[in-house]
Structure 1
Amino acid sequence: MKKLSLILALAATPGFAASGPFVSLSNTNFVVLIAFLIFVGIIIYLKVPGLLGGMLDKRAEGIRAELDEAKSLREEAQTILASYERKQREVQQQSERIITQAKEEAQRAAEQAKEDLKVSMARRITAAEDQIASAQAKAVKEVRDEAVSVAVSAARAVIAKQMTAAQGNALIDDAISTVQAKLH
């Protein structure tokens, strides 16, 4: 209530009140009202509200188009992301398969190397045993040859001491006749 009385008091003051009749060109309020109505009429005649509405509609359509484009870009980005994630999973699975195959191959190679080593060791052991047997046979032969040589020398010495010249000549003649019989 106080506000209404304040507004009426201000309207009644000479600065806010019109001097003279309301419908008069000397009344500034009336002139301002006429100017305002002419301005609004010109705006309506020039279809400014329609232009403003059209501009707002065009702007709304632009925003809607940008939102649609953003939505399609987002969907495309999600599709690409899903594709990359799928490819990443495939690559990870493939790398795991490669690692598994490499481990299996390394295991097989290790087992093959062990087998090859066993075979090589067996060959070397066999070769060493053959060399030992050959060395033994050679040593036995050398010992026999030396024993024969010693025995022949000892027999020669014994025979030389016990044999006379006549017995020696008889042995030589007997050996010659044996050789002649065998050769003919």
Structure 2
Amino acid sequence: MADTTVAAAAEQPTFKHADRGETLAEGRADLHHPEPSALGLGPGAWVALAMAVLIGILIWKKAPGAVTGGLDSSIAKIRQQLDEAKALRAEAEALRAEYASKIAGAEKDAAEMLAHAKHEAEAIVAKAEADSTAMIARREKMAQDKIGAAERAAVDELRAQAADAATRAAAVLIARNHSAEGDKALVDETIAGL
């Protein structure tokens, strides 16, 4: 079978396309591009030469020193920023501690004020109770004094009315039972008894 394919390939004409290097009989395309070259150097050599020249120029212009210097200055700036950050952190910690102590002091002061307010409230309540008890006692005494005065006034008025009524009754009885002669004898008796 291998003989038949070789024989078939031999019978077919072979034409090569000049710029692509393609064989029609084989049915495949082998692309052969010509490589450019200048001064006997291929593309890879030219790239290597360009890189070597670039590196040489960079070294000649002291680019690594500039890059290193730039990196060193960046490192110095970063260190400075880190130092500032450490200082700020220390300051923040100090402020936090200060405010924590102030909060603790404020809480202590608030507790003291609350205790003082409770004590004052208890004292005010006790004073109010004592004042109200004293006022109730005074009002009760005033009421008793008014009642006593009213009773005495009523008794005095009753006595006065009783005395007045007795005087009128006695005057009526004396006027009825005594005559001028009886009065004379009563007056004589009274004078003699003195």
* Coordinate RMSD, CA, aligned: 2.7
Q: Residue 70 of structure 1: which of 85, 94, 110 is its match?
A: 85
Shift of 1:38: 2.8
Match of 1:165 among 153, 168, 180: 180
Aligned to 1:27: 41
Residue by residue over 1:7-34, the C-alpha shift from the partner in whole angstroms, topping out at 9 and shown as x without a partner, is xxxxxx9878x97xxxx93223555444
Q: For residue 125 of structure 1, report the CA deviation from its aligned partner.
A: 1.2
| Residue 43 of structure 2 is aligned to residue 43 of structure 1 | no
Q: Could you list the runs of 5+ residues in structure 2 that have no partner in the other structure?
A: 1-31
Go from structure 1 to structure 2 and tell me whether the alpha carbon gap of 1:103 and 1:65 turns closer, same or farther (over 3 Å shift): same
How far the C-alpha of 1:169 sits from its partner, in A, is: 6.2
Does structure 1 residue 105 correspond to structure 2 residue 125? no
Q: Comparing both structures, which one devotes a greater share of its residues to helix?
A: 1
Could you tell me which residue of structure 1 aligns to residue 141 of structure 2?
A: 126
- Which amino acid is the alignment partner of residue 26 of structure 1? G
Deviations 1:76-100 (A, max 9, x none): 1121122112111111211111111
* Counterparts of 1:73 and 1:41, CA distance in 2: 46
Q: Which has the higher contact order (CA 8 A, sep 6+)?
A: 2
Code of the aligned partner of 2:40: S
Partner of 2:150: 135
4+ residue runs over 6 A deviation: 13-16, 169-175
Specify the alignment match of 1:182 in structure 2: none
Count of aligned residue pairs for this structure pair: 159
| Matched residue, 1:151 | 166
Structure 1 gap ranges (5+)? 1-12, 178-184
Could you tell me the TM-score, scaled by structure 1's length? 0.74
Q: Report the more deviating stretch, 152-161 or 166-175.
A: 166-175
Larger Rg: 2
Contact in 2 for aligned 1:43/1:49 (Cα 8 Å): yes
Write the letter of the residue equivalent to 1:27: L
Paired-residue identity, %: 34
Measure how far apart 1:53 and its partner are. 0.7
Residues 28-71 of structure 1: CA deviation (Å, up to 9, x unaligned) = 35554444333222211111111101111111111111122122
